[in-house]
Structure 1
Amino acid sequence: MICSCGNEAFYYQRYSNKYLCKECFKKDIERRAKKVLGKDIIRNNVKIGIGISGGKDSLVMACILKKLFKHIPNAKLICFFVDEGIKGFREKAKEYIKEFCEEQGLELKIIKFEDEIGYTLDEIVKNDYLSELNIGRPCSFCGVVRRYLLNKHALKEGCDYLAIGHNLDDFCQTILMNYVEGNVKNIIQFGKEFEGEGFVKRIKPLKLIPEDEVRLYADINNIKYQKEPCPYSSLSYRHRMKKVIKVLEEDKPGVKFSILRGYEKLLKYMDVKEEVKRCEICGFPCSGNICKVCSWLIKLKEISKSE
């Protein structure tokens, strides 16, 4: 088949019914990322922190951001890698990240769970601290702490924005998980992120890009990334929701975009404002007197003293 530009196509985009050559495919992906960011973000004198994990999503995001900001005056990009301390898994990720950042000329900061909270994630799981903290899954603990640390260090470096590599599939998974669980608070919070002092505004350049296309973009650009999934990911509810969305997309191409658009329309009718306080310990924004991470750290200190 032939691409609209006249070159031979290599990819069929089912949801748009288009055949694309490699160059048009890359331009399509980059155009959508640019559309999500807009002129308010792609501007002079901006500093963007990039949450990078070694997987395809974060590396593709970093690659696209480097292209988009290449000729923007005084724009600076800095990568943050959170090492949770997952034996074997994170060592491999670090190799990919160091090589990628060196090739792309990107500054890299490594943030370790062990240095920040006193434990690796492996130790938290092995010692059964999750049950002591009343947390059901490793991902529930890891996700909150990762977001906390990324914000902490992006704030420390004076970043205007913090880029997160969530793709279209990730958005759909979170939306449907909250619907299924009837979690109204999370439904609202996910779409209306807090902005203000002590919080670096998050941007998600891959929001309109399906996971399969992120993977394809990485492959045709020869981006080396970690393909092994996190050893704890199969324990998550998100992993099961991923399978459900895959079935829906196969039956009706484009359903992922429909889920996202429907959710964004719904948000316009939600005007629920939650009081934002500041954590009495770290000073970061939170809904209570003490943020979740600090409350967990207090509990972990109590546990370690009793052992």
Structure 2
Amino acid sequence: MKCSICKKNISFYHQRHSGLNFCKECFVKYIKKKVRKTLGKNIIKQNMTIGMGLSGGKDSLVMAYILNEFYKPIPNSNIIALIVDEGIEGFRKDGVNMAIKFCEEYDIAYKIATFKEYIGYDLDELVKIAKDKNLTMNPCSFCGVIRRKILNKMALNEKCNYLAIGHNLDDMAQAIMMNYIEGDVKKLAILGHDANNPMFVKRIKPLKYIPENEVLLFADLLEIKYHKAPCPYSSMSYRAEISDIIDKLEENHPGTKYSIVSGFEKLLEYLPVEKEMNVCKYCNEPSASEICKVCMFLEKLGILNV
């Protein structure tokens, strides 16, 4: 079957929700064009410093590959990789090393930070403390909020205009559905709006309209070497359950993931948004409430140093 775009080359990928068939060349161009449209001219321009959260996985490295291509020719603009080592024995070092190798191959500046240096404990230690105290705390929950806090600090230190996160369409749909199901309107509003605080670097999600399978396909086509092993804690997450449900819906009804994200974005204008963020009473950093989530977790574990 011929490619639906160029009408010349043989197609290798059928996009179920659109019915389009892509040859390899047109598929790569399509992904880049979609990311460029997502970011827009107000972000892809001169005098920009973009921090990129790099894990070493396919999503973050595909994002970095495309952003590097966009910003390299632009005067007075640059990108910097921000790598966080959470401290997961037998897993995390491989991802960090893949991220470093990628940055060195493409001549991208990078900085590395660890959970240990920021909060005094690595993730494995936090999980052990929670287990010893018989606390039912999902590792992914406190890992995510700590990592986001560290990335924000790193982006501030590097004077970044934006912090790019490699969330794909699947990630977005999962996050939205998790908050819908939990009835957490406040988190839904936060998910869709930037915080208004000089200590918070605005986030961009270049891959938010790209399904995970297409990110993977792009990475493999361009032979981007990425960390493939899943996090040992990921199977314990609520997100994994939601992911299975959404994948099943997508299989039966192509385009479901796009519909979830599109519907949420239309709903955003009706969600209440706090104009100003609070400051955590313990760490004095931006927070949606009196105590930030990181300090809340550390307090619950009995290891908060104030």
Shorter-chain TM-score: what band? over 0.9
Q: Which moves more between the two structures, 215-224 or 1-10?
A: 1-10
Change (3 A) 1:127 1:295: closer
Structure 1 distance, partners of 2:225, 2:119, is: 30
Cα displacement (A) at 1:64 = 0.6
TM alignment of 1:184-195, pairs within 5 A: 184-195=185-196
- Structure 1 CA distance for aligned equivalents of residues 209 and 291 of structure 2: 35
Aligned match of 2:201: 200
8 Å CA contact retained: 2:130, 2:301 = no
Equivalent positions of 1:155-174 (< 5 A) are 155-174=156-175
2:48 to 46, 49, 72: 46
- Matched with 1:22 is 24
Q: Is the 8 A contact 1:277 1:287 kept in 2?
A: yes
Q: Deviations over 1:182-230 (max 9, x none)?
A: 1122122111231321000000000110000000000001011111110
- For 1:1-307, list aligned pairs within 5 A: 1-3=1-3, 4-5=5-6, 6-128=8-130, 136-273=137-274, 276-297=277-298, 302=303
Runs (4+) of structure 1 moved beyond 6 Å? none
Q: CA deviation at 1:30?
A: 0.7
Partner Cα separation in structure 2 for residue 191 and residue 20 of structure 1: 31
Q: CA deviation at 1:235?
A: 0.2
Q: Is the 8 A contact 2:197 2:277 kept in 1?
A: no
Secondary structure of 1:268 counterpart: helix
Instruction: Give distance in 1, aligned partners of 2:49 and 2:132.
Output: 36
C-alpha root-mean-square deviation of aligned residues, in Å?
1.9
Task: Name the SS of the counterpart of 2:163 in structure 1.
Answer: strand
> Deviations for 1:117-136, whole angstroms, at most 9, x for unmatched residues?
1111111112326857x662
Paired residues of 2:83 and 2:112 also in contact (CA < 8 A): yes
How far apart are the structure 2 equivalents of 1:152 and 1:298? 21
- State the identity as a percent: 53
TM-superposed CA distance for 1:108, in Å, is 1.2
Rounded to whole Å, the distance in 2 between the matches of 1:130 and 1:201 is 37
> How far did residue 58 of structure 1 move?
0.3
Letter in 1 for 2:264: Y
Distance in 2 (alpha carbons) for counterparts of 1:105 and 1:186: 37
User: In 1, distance between residues paired with 2:209 and 2:292?
Assistant: 31
Q: In 2, are the aligned partners of 1:198 and 1:283 still within 8 Å (CA)?
A: no
CA offset at residue 100 of structure 1? 0.6
Gaps of 5+ in 2: none
- What is the TM-score of this pair, normalised by structure 2? 0.94
